[in-house]
Amino acid sequence: MKNQVINKAEKVIASTYKRFPLVFEKGRGCTLWDVDGHEYTDFVAGIAVCNLGHANPEIAKALSLQADLLFHVSNLYYTIPQTELADWLVKHSFADRVFFCNSGAEANEAAIKLARKNSHDRGSRDRFKIITMEKSFHGRTFATLSATGQEKIREGYDPVLSGFDFVPFNDIEALKQKMSDTVCAVMLEPVQGEGGVVCPAPEYIREVRRLCDQAGALLIFDEVQTGIGRTGKFFAYEHFNVEPDIMTLAKALGNGLPIGAMLAKEEIASAFQAGAHASTFGGTPVITAAALEVVKLFERENILEHCRQLGAYFKERLMFLKEKHTVVDDVRGIGLLLGVKLKTAGAPIVAECMNKGFLINCTQGNILRFIPPLIITREEIDSLVSCLDEILSFTKGELN
């Protein structure tokens, strides 16, 4: 069965992914099963998407109930689930308005457009540049890949869109040098996920906010990966006692269903009047009903506290590996967005973990990234750490 599916997929699906030779059939919680019945503990969670685990029964119920009522009517009309989800997000964040779309890239696209439109409407037509960070990742649409600070993402698409400047992350002096009266916004991830699980100094984020205020520029936080509880707070900006002007969400908001959201303060959001931006499928009743259940589950089941406790425990266990194995260069991250920097390539470790029934991820070539469902248990963490300990011990001579 597995080979049949893989062979057919290779013939009919665009070759935009380098896939592992696994065909998954079902999941529950933090566990996945492939078509051959093999079991895997998932520390990838659909790339920080399934924060409440696979096949969550309460989300499935909310989805099913809404699907039996109404799928889609377009944004020419109001619907209850979309309104209730927007209301929840506004009440639990800095924002006053929400724009719904279908992905993180679309949410970032909306943020870029809003920043420029806001500047235009205020009479600053020469103020259009957006400063983003080196090693950032904001998406693969033309605007968002142009905003992404990684050459490999932009390669082959020249000329990319102009109007974006890049500075090193966590370097306030570099940002100061780029700020000018042509800059309308600074856009950054509070923690760089794809960039290698890079956490900034708290004072850096506060200084970015101060610098934006001083220069009259907007501050945009891309929380596509960090938002919805991943760092131990519902939004990562809460760690820094700083509020952005615009924030983008996606990934875990739908727990596997396609949804994105751009949130903004009223004075900024007002630049988007009727016809300024749109999305046919943005915030459909079925998807927003499920997403509403996602955010309510966080409150009912105290997910954030669990994430904080298990994140601290997981990081402690990864530090054990660093102390024991010289090939481990660094352990970093916050909540359940954790990374282990290796002194060698990470791909062989990922492959060996997969062979032993654990799914992990590698980014930037040598950073093992751990982004499990936020409902992960100590036992599941201990099992993975034992597996990594064995792999690093067994391959010590080869890796060093």
Q: What is the CATH number of the domain that holds 202?
A: 3.40.640.10
Query: Would 257 be classed as within a structural domain?
Result: yes
Could you tell me if 125 and 163 lie in one domain? yes
Phi, psi for 8 (deg, rounded to 5): -65, -45
User: Considering the domain boundaries, does residue 267 fall inside one?
Assistant: yes
- Each residue of 138-189: pLDDT tens digit? 999 999 999 999 999 999 999 999 999 999 999 999 999 999 999 999 999 9
Query: Which candidate, 237, 230, 244, 241, places its Cα nearest to that of 294?
Result: 230
324 catalytic? Reply is no
For residue 24, tell me if it sits in a domain: yes
Task: Say if residue 393 is in the same domain as residue 263.
Answer: no
Number of domains present in the structure of the chain: 2
222 is catalytic: yes
d(CA 317, CA 386): 10
Is 61 inside any structural domain? no
- Clarify whether residues 78 and 204 are in a common domain: yes
Identify the three-state secondary structure at position 203: helix
pLDDT of residue 124: 86
Q: Residue 81, preceding bond cis, omega within 30 degrees?
A: no
**Do 293 and 308 sit in the same domain of this protein?**
no
Domain of 387 in residue numbering reads as 2-55+302-399
What is residue 399's predicted lDDT score, i.e. its pLDDT? 43
Q: Which pLDDT score, from 0 to 100, does residue 400 have?
A: 40
- With respect to residue 60, please indicate whether it lies within any of the assigned structural domains: no
**Domain boundary, last residue among 274, 300, 326:** 300
Same domain, 44 and 80: no
DSSP letter (8 states) at residue 195: T
CB neighbour list of residue 27: distance below 8 Å, 6 or more residues apart: 33, 42, 50, 53, 54, 55
- DSSP letter (8 states) at residue 91: H
pLDDT given at position 119: 96
Residue of 251, 272, 315, 358 with catalytic role: 251
Does 306 map to a domain? yes
Same domain, 147 and 251: yes
Domain end call among 272, 300, 328: 300
For residue 63, is it within any domain? no
Task: Catalytic residue, from 222, 240, 272, 358: name it.
Answer: 222
Decide if 251 is catalytic. Answer: yes
Domain edge (last residue) among 285, 300, 315: 300
Cβ–Cβ under 8 Å, residues 198 and 169: yes
pLDDT of residue 2: 94
**Six-digit token string for 125:** 């037509």
Residues 35 and 82 in one domain: no
Whether 104 and 37 map to the same domain: the answer is no
Low-confidence ranges of the chain (pLDDT < 50): 397-400
User: First and final CA of the chain: distance in angstroms?
Assistant: 39
Q: Buried b / exposed e across 297-330, counting CB within 10 Å, b at 16+?
A: bbeeeebbebbbebbeebbebbeebeeebebbee
Q: What angle do CA 332, 335, 340 make, to 5 degrees?
A: 25
What is the C-alpha to C-alpha distance for residues 364 and 344, in angstroms, rounded to an integer?
A: 11
We report the CATH number of the domain holding residue 324 as 3.90.1150.10
User: What are the C-alpha distances in Å from 125 to residues 57, 117, 166, 218?
Assistant: 50, 9, 21, 15
* Same domain flag for 289 and 322: no
- Do residues 18 and 44 both lie within one domain? yes
Catalytic residue among 43, 99, 100, 137: 137
The answer to whether residues 224 and 138 belong to one domain is yes
Residues 6+ apart with CB under 8 A from 373: 29, 30, 42, 45, 50, 51, 52, 53, 54
If asked whether residues 84 and 176 sit together in one domain, one would say: yes
